[in-house]
Amino acid sequence: MSDTIQLHIHSSEDIILIFTLLKHLEKRSGFHFTAMQEALNELIENILEHAYKEVKDSIDINLIFSLKSCRLHVDIQEFGLPFDFTPFLSEAIDQSSDHSKGFYRIYDLIDTFYFSNLGKEGKRFTLISHLKNCQLSQAVTTQEDTHQKISHSDIEVRPFITSDAQEISRLIYRNYDYTYYKAMFYDPKAIALQNTSQHIHSFISLHQEKIIGHFALATRLGTNCSELSVAVVHPQYKGLGIMNKMFIDLITYAKAHKFRSLFGEAIMLHPYSQKANLKKEMKESALVLGLVPEDIEIEHELKIGKRSGVLVGYLLFKNERPAIYLPKQYKKWIEQTYQQFNISLDAHLEKRELTAIQTHLDQELNLGVIQIDLEVDTAILTSTLEKLMLEQTDMIYSDINLHRIKNIDALVDALKKHGFFYSGILFDYYHDEDYLRLQKVCSKNIDEDHLVTYSTFAKTLLDYVKADQNTGYLYT
């Protein structure tokens, strides 16, 4: 079924109509919206407190309820006092348990929740709940069909075969239209080639022989670390634990094939991918600004218009590392990061033929990287950076080998003078060694104000990154 109903509230006495309408939709659809009711109640309380604190008897709130495609979508647009809700979307919390109050209670209750500041058009909150056990075919015929039951045993997860490629590309399209920043995944031939050459290792999930999910390991050239990548579930199958089931198989595969580590880049437009990574005991080590293109659109709903950041989380299978050189500038943070992974620094450092400094240019994403593996003269560093800046990339990242550069303080100081600031630690990132990543913003199109964090560590890291960017030098 499909319903769209609009409600305009002008008085706090009429707030009850929101929940009356929700009951009406329950009756029409046959579904229960208990979680959405609690989420709406929590959100409305916050709106009244912060946006209408002085004028509770003269409010202006517009709600649009849409019930279609196996999900309930609620948009709330309000025109109250200007208020920055983003700190509440990024509050430091303990992610190990549910929350009784606040915005993170809303995250626990529903599948998608985000905030948009519309300028002169007020502020908008969007809440989406996927209807579990909804009919999962394109054609809905009877009430019995709508309540078809699906269990974990009905979902099969298996490795990729060549004939899967076209349906994987269609899964990407159903979730992102043509805005997904890894464009290769719109090309079935490219997907098949990347899998047969083992540059990626795709797993798919099926229900009644229909492909409904994809998750992959993307290998990195020259290192035994792999990225958890291109995780997508058919929009009509959300909320059934499918991603988790594929995640378990990927970890089993990685261990069996002797990977040193896995990492994932959780988009900071929302907390959900961060939360999924934490549930798999991944730990966060870096916050990378500007990695996500501005035109990405998630599930046809969420689009920010600026380049967003990611939180890099790791699952380490080998905790022994060679000794590292700690720059005074970031000694505290690097030590804290290594401690949370229970790393021991007594492994042997292998002899390698390395290039002291080199650059990488990602023209598709318009990003640049300076990779530094050995001591380098300041003049050479400056010349290399100036050449890369001529490419007019949106961001430049500097990856510094922590095992091989004894005079690392001089290198960090030189990069700081060029506008670089802290990002974090990348484990096994090149040839199985660890790197300190610094970052430099080169465009006004980088979102730095609406980055959502979930864990306490991520919130603290975000505060530190911003402080380091703003002050230039933070010796702690």
| Domain 328-471: which CATH number of 3.90.79.10, 3.40.630.30, 3.40.50.300, 3.40.50.150 | 3.40.630.30
For 341-349, which contacts have Cβ atoms below 8 Å and span 24 or more sequence positions?
A: 341/283, 341/285, 341/314, 341/316, 341/427, 343/316, 343/319, 344/319, 344/320, 345/321, 346/320, 347/320, 347/321, 347/322, 348/322, 349/322, 349/323, 349/403, 349/404
- Of the pLDDT bands very low, low, confident and very high (cuts 50, 70, 90), residue 88 is low
Cα–Cα distance, 268 to 126 (Å, whole number): 16
* β-bridge pairing 112-117 and 200-207: unpaired
What pTM was estimated for this model as a whole? 0.72
Q: How many Å separate Cα 423 from the centre of its chain?
A: 16
Q: How far is CA 319 from CA 96, 249, 343, 401, in A?
A: 23, 22, 5, 17
pLDDT of residue 472 exceeding 70, the answer is no
Residue that wins the pLDDT comparison between 43 and 182: 43
Tokens in use for 216?
């992959």
Cα–Cα distance, 269 to 156 (Å, whole number): 30
* β-bridge pairing 367-372 and 283-292: unpaired
Per-residue pLDDT, 303: 58
Per-residue pLDDT, 471: 81
**Summary mean pLDDT of the chain:** 85
Q: Delimit the domains of the chain by residue range.
A: 3-130, 150-316, 328-471
Q: Could you read off the pLDDT of 203-245 as tens digits, one per residue? A: 999 998 899 999 999 998 889 999 998 888 887 787 788 988 9
Determine the CATH number of domain 150-316: 3.40.630.30
Strand partners, 214: 204, 232
Cα–Cα distance, 186 to 168 (Å, whole number): 8
Tokens in use for 326?
């700690």
Tokens in use for 408?
């690392």
Cα–Cα distance, 208 to 65 (Å, whole number): 32
Cα–Cα distance, 154 to 135 (Å, whole number): 14
Per-residue pLDDT, 99: 58
Q: Could you read off the pLDDT of 130-141 as tens digits, one per residue? A: 776 664 433 333
* β-bridge pairing 61-68 and 3-9: antiparallel
Q: Which residues 6+ apart lie within 8 Å of 432 measured at CB?
A: 223, 224, 225, 260
| Average pLDDT of the segment spanning 350-373 | 94
pLDDT of residue 476 exceeding 50, the answer is no
pLDDT of residue 437 exceeding 70, the answer is yes
* β-bridge pairing 261-267 and 225-233: parallel
Residue that wins the pLDDT comparison between 358 and 130: 358
Q: Which CATH superfamily is domain 3-130 in?
A: Histidine kinase-like ATPase, C-terminal domain (3.30.565.10)
Nearest to 262 by CA among 303, 302, 312: 312
pLDDT of residue 441 exceeding 80, the answer is yes
Per-residue pLDDT, 137: 37
In 3-state terms, what secondary structure has residue 165? helix
pLDDT of residue 192 exceeding 80, the answer is yes
Q: Which residues 6+ apart lie within 8 Å of 314 measured at CB?
A: 261, 262, 263, 282, 283, 284, 285, 341, 427
Q: Is the separation of the CB atoms in 179 and 172 below 8 Å?
A: no
Give the position of tokens 């290769």: 184
- Which H helix or E strand runs over 261? strand 261-267
Cβ count near 53 (within 10 Å): 11
Domains 150-316 and 328-471 share a fold: yes
